[in-house]
Chain A
Amino acid sequence: GAGVSQSPSNKVTEKGKDVELRCDPISGHTALYWYRQRLGQGLEFLIYFQGNSAPDKSGLPSDRFSAERTGESVSTLTIQRTQQEDSAVYLCASSLALGTVNTEAFFGQGTRLTVV
């Protein structure tokens, strides 16, 4: 597709269940980011993938959170044993590699996760 695609757009899950969120970046974009945004709050960095380099996981809030990316394509963010405080919009963004002319980051529309 032309833009960053995220699925599902909405997810309601019971506390304690695992969830998997998917991000399909723009073709050719080597950089991929996951952010969390709680209602009325700013973006909270979670994890960053750049090509085949080791990901920057410094923003992951706990070991219940993990993410994978296969090459320069789809990424999945997994939250295990979900808690109510995990309720937020999870945004994915992708961009060309740094050092190229245009490193604008494009965002997907997000996955709204509600843990009940």
Chain B
Amino acid sequence: RKEVEQDPGPFNVPEGATVAFNCTYSNSASQSFFWYRQDCRKEPKLLMSVYSSGNEDGRFTAQLNRASQYISLLIRDSKLSDSATYLCVVTPLGGYQKVTFGTGTKLQVIP
């Protein structure tokens, strides 16, 4: 099983729709979680951290489910500018283990 798994998509949704992505991770000792966004031909950039209690930033909501070992990203009222690839990132519990990036879920918002 991969350390971090995501559905590659693409998810094609109309403007204004709500869309959600999940990301599963295999290491139950994982500590921190993030969602990154990567635009076409650009480098990934941090979108938001994922807190245990869940967190919201405008139209974006991130959730963590430790029991089932997955994180989710919900985007409400999708905009054309949300079209990108969304990468989930899992960080182990301290030490010198590396951060692990998922391969990303592609979202295409269509007019």
Which residues does A use to contact B, with CB under 8 Å? 31, 33, 35, 41-43, 45, 48, 50-51, 53, 56, 91, 93, 95, 98-99, 103-105, 107-110
Contact = CB atoms under 8 A, between A and B. Distances in A.
Interface string B18-51: 0000000000000010100000001111100100
B103 A48 contact: no
A107 B98 contact: no
Contacts of B46: 104-105
Nearest to B101: A43
A99 B98 CA distance: 12
B62 interface: no
B2 to A, nearest CB: 11
Nearest to B44: A107
Contact of A99 (B94, B101, B102): B94
B91 A98 contact: yes
> Which of A33, A41, A104 has the most chain B CB atoms inside 10 A of its CB?
A104
A50 B8 CA distance: 29
